[in-house]
Chains A and B, each alone.
Chain A
Amino acid sequence: MVPRLKRSISLSNLAKWATLCALILFVLLPTFYLISYVFTRWNEVNYEVFANPIIGDENWKQIQQVLLFSFRLSLFTVAFDLIFGIPLAYILARKKFRGKSLLEDIITLPLVIPTSGFGFATLITWTTATGIGGIFGLNSGLIPLDAVIPLLNVPFIVFIVHIALTFPYIVRTIATKFESIELTFEIASRTLGANPLTTFRKILFPLSISGIFSGSVLAFARSLGETGATLIVSGVSSTASIAIVRWTSEFKLATASFMGSLLVVIAWLIILPIEVYVNRGASLFSIPYRFPRALSNWIIKFEKFASRKLTHIKNFLPLFIVVITVIVPIVIVLNSVIFYWSADPYTGKVQGGVLYQLFGPSNYFNSVLKATLTSIIVALTSTFIAMCIAIPLSFIIKRWWYGGIIRSVLKVPLIIPTSSLGLSVLLLWGSNGFNLVKPGIWLIILTHIVFSVPVIVESIIAAYEGSDIQMYEDSARTLGATAYNAIEMVSLPLIKGGILTGFILSFTHSIGETGATFIVMGRDVTVPALVVNMVEALAIPAALFTSTYLIILSLILLAIIRLTTRR
């Protein structure tokens, strides 16, 4: 009896260590390698960045400029998201109305649509005559590509894309937090005489401050790392992520990795304190504060007025933003494909039509097919490998004392800018590191594993915490099931939903990922990367077709997500 027990323990130990090793090798090592690369190759970095004999410290100046721009862009994006995202989150969490789930789906769309396709759609919408400009009868776009928003000093089109792509993180995170807070507090406050806005300020807002911070962190990280769409719409301006892509493609690895490390470190310096603060569950409002009486009276008076008169604005404006940033681009890109189908509608040339570009001499159709195959193989393989790591890892996280540490370390790949991620994988596995994998499909898979593992782990853990797994497992054990039996017969079936959700999320993410893929893909182009290539080659009709194709593909994926998570 006893020897059997011992053997099973050592087997489970083996599985545990194998999982942890895989975690370290595949998920955590690349980031640390990137940072260590800067130190080990400091001479090179110094030569390229600070003391180039020809251009001096021109690169350093560029780095500073680009970083500053990136952070400014991300901060403004988050601020804008918050202003309009909080009311929208409130509506989603508290109100019941027809078409609510449709609205939820529309808000989620930018998470699912491959970013390069989405970026291209936005570009077409705002800067060409086929877009909004055409509707107003202009011969050009409504807004030129290089238009800059006054005061904020960021390009309009980049700003719009970043808002659309980060808005879902803010709205969904905050809405979930609002939903978790019982309605009774608000009812109590209302019956005690507070108007809706005052109730929100004094009750709901302080209670959900941690959710607001978490959402902001996610949105900030997303904006900082966004590459796919930004590559397409950035024009002359360059964000930090794009600079990394550019320098990598110019083989300035030292500069790129220096920039990548800076980005990672600074992002962490901003995000870590917030994470710690949120995890402690402390509230900003635990610090006693008081407005002067006159001011507080005035605020309440204003809130009373606003509660009555301004609700429509509050309800309408966020919806307007969602429509403008998400729906309009999609509709316009679909419309444009039809517009350009056989020939360029302005010049009448067949060469400018979708059909000619797809099946003509450049034969883009073939590229699209090849890229689709690459994308699907990458998504399936990386998700499968990530699942093999993530499922046992979730159990380790829930069971061992160091689980909490692993869980927070797993946030690294979620927060690291995608182009830094791509660069780090390239450095680790490529000729500058292990020298095992050349840029191409395998390197893409290795890159996608990095972000897939945390995505799957998070959804499994959500399912694990949703049902009282520990109790069911304990129950099974006292009924005579071994630890392995209990996991197989009780825990796994109970978290099936979480595993499935994780699979789909990871698969979708993998299909749409652009920034990191662009750096590591070599000649094995995925579909989103193909869109970027087409735009760079000015093959607009082909890009239109491919974007449409991507959007439809992701709509199908979204429908599948809906069907599986509804149950």
Chain B
Amino acid sequence: MSIIQLVNVTKKYDEITALDHLNLSIEDKEYVCVLGPTGAGKTTLLRIIAGLLEPDEGKIHIAGRLVNGLPPEERNAVYMFQQFALFPHMNVWQNVSFSPIIKNYHETRIKRLTLEILEMVKLADRQDAFPHELSGGMQQRVALARGIASGSRILLLDEPFGALDARLRVDLRAQLRKLAEDQELTTIHVTHDQEEALMIADRVVVIRKGKIEQIGTPHEIYTNPQSAFIMSFVGGANFIEGNVIRMDDSGSIIEIRGSQKVHVSDISRKVGEKVVIAIRLEDISIGMVEAPVSNNFSGMIESTMFIGSSIEYVIKLENGITVSSKKLISNAYKSESNETVIVSFLPEKCYVFEYPKIGLLKEIEAI
């Protein structure tokens, strides 16, 4: 049964449409990441579910109940701010016991519950500390503990790692995931970090300009992107424009700049259609000789970039197209700048999309 259901939700700020007739349902105990570039409407979506904003149109159901117009305190959905919003005038204990006290639980129950949760997030020994005395990671744990103590089954996280150091973010992902699972919470986690979303979520919802672009498991989103935008936003790719000139059961042939031809396995488009070919950086190989079954093009290495575990090459092909390739450092190609090389990629590694109406550059922009 879906615990949260949004039907045709629309929200406008003056001219800008933050959410555009959005439909979404979220299952009980599911961990959903809402992924999108800045300004896509992610936070608006979260605030509307929490009841901090009212939609202009559409319905919101939580646990089968229509909650439009219901104040936040009656929705049983905890909203966690990026800055955590720990009450600065209360210590850890008072912050965590805020909800139990508000809800007028019995004294012994408040004590037991608060202590239990503090122990769970390993902060029982810091219960007298004030928020400003804690590190970012600890503050996040207090905020989570405070949310769990409220007894709400729904956790709404707005960029929960946004205020933390890059290293800490990665460490805390698994912890957060486990906590949500152990507590059987339904979690909606908003982020613009595709790596974070892929790693942590049961399901990823990619939104852009207030509309859902794709919903799927992290694996589906990565291996079967529905648009050039998703391909570019999640993982990144090389994009080459072209026209389909021939097609049969085994694949199609696409003509790109310089009248060169690319063989692809995809047969979903039509002959004569203008398309975009997308190839992941890691699917492009570089060598001195032509590779069998592959598309081969010769070009010149323009630059190389060292990124730790891998190396990224930028190669200018003879037809003027620039492509990037990424290789693990263990099987990297020893290269010199301005060296002439053969670039190759397999037909089945090519994704083919309809040429976007707004133009390719606009389509793959991260907004």
Contact = CB atoms under 8 A, between A and B. Distances in A.
A477 B52 contact: yes
Interface string A452-484: 000000000000000110011011111111110
A477 B102 CA distance: 10
B150 A479 contact: yes
Contact of B156 (A471, A478, A481): A478
Interface string B76-87: 111111010101
A479 B98 CA distance: 8
A313 B269 CA distance: 80
Nearest to A483: B71
A493 B89 contact: yes
Given A471-B85, A477-B51, A494-B88, A482 B71 contact: yes
Contacts of B85: 468, 471-472, 474-475
B79 A480 contact: no
Contacts of A482: 71, 73
Contact of A471 (B50, B81, B89, B102): B81
A479 B102 CA distance: 9
A471 B84 CA distance: 9
Which interface residue of B85, B89, B99, B152 has the most chain A CB atoms within 10 A?
B85
A102 interface: no
Interface residues of A, number: 21
Interface in B129-160: 146-147, 150, 152, 156
B87 A472 contact: yes
Given A480-B150, A489-B98, A490-B87, A475 B73 contact: no
Given A478-B77, A480-B99, A5 B71 contact: yes
B157 to A, nearest CB: 12
Contacts, number: 74
B73 A480 contact: yes
A43 interface: no
Contact of A474 (B74, B79, B88, B99): B79
Interface string A286-322: 0000000000000000000000000000000000000
A485 interface: yes
Interface residues of B, number: 28
B122 interface: no
Contact of B147 (A1, A479, A481): A479
B72 A474 contact: yes
B189 to A, nearest CB: 15
A1 B74 contact: yes
A250 B212 CA distance: 77
Which interface residue of B74, B77, B103, B146 has the most chain A CB atoms within 10 A?
B74
A510 B76 CA distance: 48
Contact of B102 (A475, A483, A485): A485
Interface string B106-132: 000000000000000000000000000
24 contacts: A1-B74, A5-B74, A468-B85, A474-B79, A474-B85, A475-B80, A475-B87, A477-B52, A477-B73, A478-B50, A478-B52, A478-B72, A478-B77, A478-B152, A478-B156, A479-B146, A480-B73, A480-B103, A481-B98, A481-B99, A482-B71, A485-B102, A493-B89, A494-B87
Given A478-B72, A480-B76, 7 more contacts: A474-B52, A474-B79, A476-B98, A478-B51, A478-B78, A480-B99, A494-B89
